[in-house]
Structure 1
Amino acid sequence: MKFIATSLLASLLFVPNLASAGSGDWEAPLLVDSTNSHAVYKPLPAGSASKPWHLCVGFPHMKDAYYVAKDYGIYLEAKRQGVSASVMSAGGYNNLTQQIQQIEDCVARGGNAVLVNAVSKAGLNGLIEELHGKGIPVLDMGNGLESPHVAAAAKALYYQAGSAAGGYLAAKHPKGSGKVKMVWLAGPAGSQWVEDSVVGMKEAIADSDVELLQVIYGDTGKEVQMRLIEDALQAYEGVNIIGGNAPAIEGAMEILRMRGDQDKSLIAFYTTPAIEQAVRDGKVMATVGDFNVIGSRISVDQAIRVLEGKLEVPLANRQFFVVDQNNVNTYDRDVLLAPDGFDPIFEIEVGS
């Protein structure tokens, strides 16, 4: 059992040396399943776009490190291929009308393809059908689109994120090693990525000595998460592990510092710069990465391939990996986060 647990831990910490966020060639590991037989995503060679296509890129917002990193990936691959892009922020998940208007305006200015992290899975269906009729492809950058006219998609399945975090814990605490108690701060109830991550986590710890006390739902604002953690620590004695969304783990660090509590382990199922730094500092046990920057690069490559009739991987589901003290100083940070000090770029010109 100890050998199996050690092997599992090693596999979760192994980050394939395939993806580089520099301006040169790159590759990315993919999940192989019934929807995709390609284990590695291989982009077109640099500078191989047949013309300076213009891409319209829609994000829900640019308020956090996740979407700043996605913007960074768009910038890198557009620059590598010699295409231009207009990057648009809708200002929040409630702004469906704003996202639709931004996309329409960009296409009217000569956009050749639309890449979108949609604020609504079904809300863009009418627009996508209209653009399909005009020969403008629409690509899903990960939030999900229900339209049958989506030309390609690059996703990170958060079942795998929960499974990676749970698998890491199961390897640390295999059956028979001694019970440990955990509370899990999932995020907003009903959100697909939240529910999927919970399922993955539960399945991964099922045959381990990790005892799940409660899955706690709530808005991912840090203040909300901190209140939920305080309530959980009041309700349950002997909590050993606090796991869950990144703002919750950032808040947990503050709570434990104020309490002078150094006995609890923390793990996040996605990564922010603050969480990654906390892993470096030994304040967080581990975090999960999803090749976020590379996801945007895949979307740009897919768009060019669609426009030029060269699409090979219509659905690219990225792998996940765990970052902890063993690899935090050696893994390629640029596949996951934008460089420190990077400011979002909204207009990417050819040759910029």
Structure 2
Amino acid sequence: MTPFQAMTRALGLATGLSLAALSPASAQENWFPMKIFDSSSGTPTPAEYTPVGKAEKPYNLCVLFPHMKDSFWVAVAYGVVKQAEAANVNMTLYEAGGYENLPRQLSQFDDCLASGADAIIVGAISGAGLAQKFDEAKAKGVPVVGVVNPVPIEKLPAANFVDFAAMGGVTAKGLLASLGADETANVVTFPGPAGSGWAESFNEGFKKEVAGNPNVKILDEKFGDSGVAVQLQLIQDALQTYPDMNVIWGTAPTAEAAIGAVAEAGRTDMKIISSYENQAMLDALNRGDILAFATQYPVGEGAIGIDQAIRLIEKKPVVKLVQPEAAVIDKTTVPNVKMDLVLAPADWTPVYSVKAK
């Protein structure tokens, strides 16, 4: 069941969700209501999300991201910034520089607490690695909202992140739909950084969807940091080790790296699929360099994270676990996707602080 196939229930005042043009976000007011799953009870229920509006006071919100290396996290940041501006709150954003830098994110979390933040929104490098910090924040009465990356939901009053296994599954469906009757897919997966939680879930969702299909074979799984340089090395190794590989499935930086590596190797038969979105993936899709990519609507996730924090501070009703619906985007579906919830405007420069007026 998807939220598009069932009757929705409103969490806000507005209803309906219009389709947008193919350009990224230009007007924050067009983002909502946003179709989601309310998974607070453990059972995903179709719903619509609308923010509470302007905050009662100019609260101080502290936001932590794993990195800002690609346009995916820039999109989340765009949602954070624009919703903070709309709510008229103060916001400070810190990024740790990469998934290998958990100690830095732990230190940044401490800085947020020491600064007197009214709430913390965190894109966790590791949910398990931050568990103790979540307890410390709770003891001090500071609400923490998990955004984008999976966290132990029992540790937090609110979070929003996609069902990553489902997201991996929709990309697998895209691959299966592209195969001819007698076509064989020899796949190497490049899920992302081991221990992140989302990488493992993406991978499991993909494998589950293709399991039992005699035309699909998983040759190997290569975990690694989601930077392009690391992914390029993994791809080059796989091209040497598995000459019969004809499908590369992995992160957006994997796909970015694969385009050049595959061209250099003269492998015109290679199918490239990204497990998530960024601007480079949209551009590559339009050029025909990749088959498809999945989306979790990161602009919307960033905006919802700010709203969840404000609701917690003001003790207003809050959806404990918001989950966007995963969707696969290929050349046939891109005209119907609300791209202003997927990517920041191409000319937007990341902003690391917002001051309330």
- Shorter-chain TM-score bucket reads 0.7 to 0.9
Give the Cα–Cα distance (whole angstroms) in 1 for the partners of residues 48 and 328 of structure 2. 20
Partner Cα distance (2:145, 2:53) in 1: 21
Q: By how many angstroms is 1:146 displaced?
A: 4.0
Rounded to whole Å, the distance in 2 between the matches of 1:100 and 1:65 is 24
Please give the secondary structure, in 1, of the residue aligned with 2:99. coil
Q: Is the 8 A contact 2:126 2:197 kept in 1?
A: no
Give the Å deviation of 1:290: 0.9
**Offset of residue 111 of structure 1:** 2.0
Matching residue of 2:220: 215
For the pair 1:320 / 2:292, whether they are aligned, the reply is: no
Alignment of 1:92-171 (within 5 A): 92-146=98-152, 148-171=154-177
Mapped to 1, the partners of 2:205 and 2:233 lie a distance apart of 25
What TM-score, normalized to structure 1? 0.84
Match of 1:182 in 2: 187
Q: Which amino acid aligns with 1:168?
A: G
1:177 deviation in Å?
Answer: 5.0
Q: Helix, strand or coil: the match of 1:39? A: strand
Equivalent residue number for residue 255 of structure 1: 261
TM-score with structure 2 length normalisation?
A: 0.83
Q: Quote the Cα distance in structure 1 between the aligned partners of 2:164 and 2:267.
A: 30
Distance 1:98 1:221, change over 3 A: closer
Mapping of residues 1-352 of structure 1, within 5 Å: 17=17, 21=25, 22-24=27-29, 26-31=32-37, 35-47=42-54, 49-146=55-152, 148-173=154-179, 178-208=183-213, 210-219=215-224, 220-329=226-335, 331-351=337-357
Write the letter of the residue equivalent to 2:197. Q
CA RMSD of aligned residues (A): 2.9
The whole-number CA distance in structure 2 between the counterparts of 1:344 and 1:200 is 32
Q: CA deviation at 1:307?
A: 1.4
Shift of 1:57: 0.9
Describe the superposition over 1:18-73 as per-residue Cα deviations: whole angstroms up to 9, x where unpaired: 687522151223236552554124223533x2222221111122222222211111
By how many angstroms is 1:273 displaced? 1.6
**Structure-1 separation of matches of 2:213 and 2:38:** 26
Classify the secondary structure of the residue corresponding to 2:29.
Answer: coil
Deviations 1:252-283 (A, max 9, x none): 21122223332222111112221220101111
Contact kept in structure 2, 1:243 and 1:266, CA below 8 Å: yes
User: In 2, Cα distance between the equivalents of 1:252 and 1:94?
Assistant: 22
CA deviation profile, 1:217-241 (whole Å, cap 9, x unmatched): 1323434433433443444454432
Counterpart AA for 2:53 = A
Give 1:200 shift: 0.8
Q: Tell which deviates more after alignment, 136-145 or 152-161.
A: 136-145
1:135, 1:194 → 2: CA distance? 31
Q: Is the 8 A contact 1:128 1:149 kept in 2?
A: yes
Structure 1 residue 102, shift from structure 2 partner = 3.2
Aligned-pair CA distance for 1:202: 1.4
Q: Residue 137 of structure 1: CA displacement?
A: 0.8
Contact 1:182 1:212 in 2 (8 A): yes
Distance in 2, Cα, partners of 1:349 & 1:108: 19
CA distance in 2, matches of 1:127, 1:256: 43
Counterpart of 1:163, as a letter, is: G
Three-state SS of the structure 2 residue aligned to 1:187 is coil
| Residue 19 to residue 27, structure 1, CA distance change in 2 (3 Å) | farther
> What amino acid maps onto 2:348 in structure 1?
F
Determine what percentage of the aligned residue pairs are the same residue.
31
Figure out how many residues of one structure are paired with residues of the other and give that number. 337
Q: CA separation in 2, counterparts of 1:254 and 1:138?
A: 40
Which 10-residue stretch deviates more, 316-325 or 118-127? 118-127
Letter in 1 for 2:185: V
Partner of 1:4: none
Deviations 1:197-223 (A, max 9, x none): 121111212354541241331323434
Contact 2:300 2:341 in 1 (8 A): yes
Segment drifting more, 117-126 vs 334-343: 117-126
